[in-house]
A and B are shown apart, each in its own frame.
Chain A
Amino acid sequence: MTLDLLGYARSLVERQEGSEGVWPRAAALLTRQALEEALDHLWLMIHPGVVGASRATQLTCLGHMITDAELVADVRSAWSSLSRACHHHHYELGPTAAELDRWILQTEHLVETLRSVAPHPGRRRAHLDV
């Protein structure tokens, strides 16, 4: 990652002024990209074939890579919330600061974990060098 997307997302949410009206959506877009990039990075390292699969499939595969089931569940929910937030929806308002804060936190946690992840024991997968 050349750019600290999550850092920018967090600063957008935490700033007390500037980017009026734009910051919730911008932060959501940045967070989702950070999450997607983390996933892409993981698949490139261990299984480039998965990169082209849909994000839903990728998230299913993630369950086999990470033993922390709670984290996987968090990431799935963060990703689907972010995708919703990043598409236009009539009848829905932009995400709130609290929601964004939670998604950023969950994504940060994922990125951390993916950096140190070891393939699931008993599964035939390449080891990640961190």
Chain B
Amino acid sequence: MKANGKSMKMNRRRFLASFFKGAACIAAVTSLPRLAFAGWNEKAFKAETLEGALSSKYPGLEVVDSSSVKLKAPAIAENGAVVPVSVKTDLPDVKTISLFVEKNPSPLAATFHLTPVNVADVSIRIRMGETSNLIAVVESGGKLHRVQQEVKVTIGGCGG
């Protein structure tokens, strides 16, 4: 009986050990895509107002207008489906750069996550449904540095 009990324990121990090893493997495998993709802020992208998108994306961060952020976009976009936009800044320690189109059905267009090796200079082509303010914010030093520009759109880019 005694011997039996001992081997039972061993079995349980062995079983538990292999169980945890297995669990660790599964955890490692499922966390892999997380490493490649830090996640998509669905709430911010689905927000329908500029304020909503901004506060879901950057809760509690102070927004200041900044002349250190350079936003390059056309004053008049003939085709709202393809509006080239560039954002550049000399601010130190830039964590993220986000682009918002105030009057788009979902104002948040994109967020760029920078690493210390990045140079804060990004470009993208976005859609604009109608003439609207284009807002770029740069997250640096615990603040949001904002710059905005109006882009006139002659043909909307949101289909329909």
Q: Do A and B bind each other?
A: no
Residues in chain A within 8 A of chain B (CB atoms): none
